[in-house]
Structure 1
Amino acid sequence: MPDLSASARPVVTRKDVARLAGVSTAVVSYVVNGGPKNVAPATQEKVRQAITALGYRPNVTARALKMGSSRILGMVVPKISSPFFASLAQAVEQAAEQEGYAMLLGDSRDSLTVERRHLSNFADRQVDGVFLCSVVNHRPEVSELDGRGIRTVLLNFSEYPLEVDAIGPEFVGSSRRAVEHLASHGHRDIALVQGFVTGNTLDGREFGWREALKGMGASEGRIFRCSFDRAGGYDAGRRFLALTERPTAVFITSDEQAVGFLRALHEAGLRVPEDVAVMSFDGSEESEFSWPPLSTVRQPVQQMAEAGVRAIIGTGRDEPPRTQVFDCELVLRRSCGCDEP
């Protein structure tokens, strides 16, 4: 019995398409690549019909070498299971797709070693650009990409001016406003649940929390450091509950952590916001459907994604690298003491 697997089928070439359509291979190339020469509509239709009949698939790698563009972008995130990074990756993919680009996604699993392996892999594949949400919050290493002429955009990153494009939220000021809002409800003892940060620098959200406390004339608050996920937030909540005298409000550096923190409070029978007020950061869809609904700092995900795509393949690709910082929105719900809007 003959082997009918895909690997055993003969490879359809551009010559086969040209022969069936009754045109030259150059004309087939013009139709497939959208130029550089125009082809009459009737002839284009004949070529497309031949492509469909034969199941022709262009050699993307060969075309990339010839045209100097793979029309593929890479993106690395610390954890794709995170609601925030999942929504950011989706927004970037949609913005890139509108420009005719496909996207490869790498999950670094919060590992700098894995992150660098993904970047090296993207460089070997000759992608046209890379979006990096690094586990490092100060000057991630992207020299291999730069050395190969691959433009890099750091996303969710707005702390420092760099030699590469950086796009992110206004972490410090947005966090300060969130803590000040908790203070407007009468809270003076406001704790911080802070995700672990790779490197020796403080996270911008922690800076904002500290600035707010200083402006209130409050003493230094308590910090519960944990992983940037639900389990980390739950662990922080358990440690918070073990205190003899607990703060009356908490600012949490991600919605995902806040969900875990809320579970710990619920298990202990504490009411939110009556016993403990909670404010988080990110503005993911999860914040709206937690109980109670989370008051949060909403990042402008769509705007950041579109700005990143412009920096690599749009109007900004010929401009020098720059840092773009986007304002965030306070979304006030039940968890901080505000009613639903």
Structure 2
Amino acid sequence: MASLRSEKTIVLAILIQLLIAAFSSFLAVGLVSMYDPGSASNGFVVSFGVTGDASADLAPVLASDDSWEAEHYRTQRAAMRDFRSGRIHAVLAVDRTADGSVRVTAIAPDGNIKTTLVVTQIKEVLDKLERRERARFASRLERSPVAPPPETGASPYFGFTYTVLIPLLMFLPVFISGSVAVDTIAEEYDRGTLELLRVTPLTGVDIVDGKLLAMGILAPVQAAAWLVLLSFNGTNVANPLEIVALVAAFSVAIVAIGAILALRFRDRKQAQFLFSMAMLVVFSGTYLLPEAPANTVARLAIGSPTPFTHAMVALYLACSLAGYALVRRVVGGRGLLTTA
């Protein structure tokens, strides 16, 4: 335990996770506000300056929500004058085109602290206007278009927790484990302690096995701890065993990649740089799959996995075991653990 204090990577990882745990409530509110800015706009009334020959079409939309106020102007110049003076938050110029459709030009403040909230409210206004126009002219269509998604009143915390927070908490320990694995192997060369290990009855495969298993177990243990803490906080996570198995699969695979790089290059800085680049390539490449790992975790956590989701978990487990076997074969066959 005393030697662990000198490991900057481990200490920094622990401090980051303690910070997240200690300020989880504040972070959740702040991150959800970034994820869905409209969730932080309760009580904020946006004043719209409406102008144009089709402004009457927008009036029922603005009147449908108490957080919107409409002030009608005869000309856009008059609306812009009040916009620059701060009397209104945004300008909506609504005009009817020759083909009967509505064209809206929205003007929002630039560089203002309220810009994000105003833009979010403009988007909601335009979404409602689109739905209203669809319903209004549905009888003119020769065939039925694709129906827009139904409006829902679900809390943004639900979507953020299951699609962003839980996948993030599951994969963060995986990156940390891989990085620590690179450090522990590369530092054996830097400090010259590998010779002491080589004179023991342990083989090179035994030494690498110990490091791989220690780091490979670290991530699923942390992931399980996060799931337990989330359950104490009232967030129910379905299929926890399968999620932990998925994290274990990725942990073993990522640790195996880190071990190969550390054994091949032996220099800590070079191995860490190549490991970081490899992680960007690997996790970017997973989004080309029919179901990305983050989506797999979200489906499992929500409790709506498909047979394909279970198949992807099995595929990740198989790939991790193949990667682990490859590392053992390379170490045993090529003697990468020698210092010569």
In proportion to residue count, which structure has more helix? 2
TM-score (ref. length: structure 1): 0.29
| TM-score, normalised via structure 2 length | 0.29
Structure (1 or 2) with the greater strand fraction: 1
